Homo-oligomer: A and B are copies of this chain.
Amino acid sequence: MSTQEAVTASILVIGDEILSGRTKDKNIGYIAEYLTAIGVDVAEVRVVPDIEDEIVAALNALRARYTYVFTTGGIGPTHDDITADAVAKAFGVEISVNAQARAMLLERIPEADLNEARLRMARIPHGAALVANKISKAPGFWIGNVIVMAGVPSIMQAMLDEVAPQLKTGQVMLSETVRADAKEGDVGGPLGEIAKAHPGVSIGSYPFADELGRPNTNLVVRAREPALLAAAMADVQAMLAARKAG
């Protein structure tokens, strides 16, 4: 469904292995790009350790502030997987083995192998809806405005595909990029003027090294209204043309 209000989200990455640098996160960029494309603006990201109080505090801060919170990590079968318990605590609800989640696990795991550790993956806070996952079958879940997903990227991506059609979405942020063929410091002045003249538009400037290692700049113009975007982009293009002509 689509509305005209801005729909916001935050991403909460849960895991000591990200904070120690042992595992390099691949989920933040993926989720950010995915949500932006469907009209959900990611407004904040946090990474917290596998400590229940930290997870609960971050969850409560974020869910009060944004339309959605997407969490990744901490829903596996081991003692350090404490996300489901932390979510239950944040919402003040009970948690126990969910029959439907258990049945999902049994689609992939023989009943003889469904030990206590694996059954942890079927422990779901009361009141949550399950988020199916084609890869490992172990479900994520959705409670209130919080969507709880796996940390393994392929599984997280399958869960995101599952929930995306049910998300409230806003007007997509449109974006156009132009290569300035100039150093950032050479276009910074005029660009600031253009940004000031176009209040509904956000203009970003991103330096990069070109094919030969020379400094160059990408200018990114973003707006929700096509007309606003076009007007700002026309001014940016005119500024760049004037620079080249001069």
Contact = CB atoms under 8 A, between A and B. Distances in A.
Copies in the complex: 2
Contact of A191 (B23, B29, B49, B79): B79
Contacts of A47: 28, 44-46
Contacts of A33: 20-22
A174 to B, nearest CB: 11
A204 interface: yes
A78 interface: yes
Interface string A1-45: 000000000000100111111111100111111111000011111
Contact of A222 (B20, B31, B117, B173): B20
Which of A16, A24, A77 has most chain B Cβ within 10 Å?
A: A77
The 8 nearest A-B residue pairs measured at CB: A117-B188, A21-B33, A21-B32, A79-B192, A45-B47, A24-B29, A118-B185, A78-B205
Interface of A: 13, 16-25, 28-36, 41-50, 54, 76-80, 109, 113, 115-118, 120-121, 152, 173, 175, 184-189, 191-192, 195-196, 202-207, 220, 222
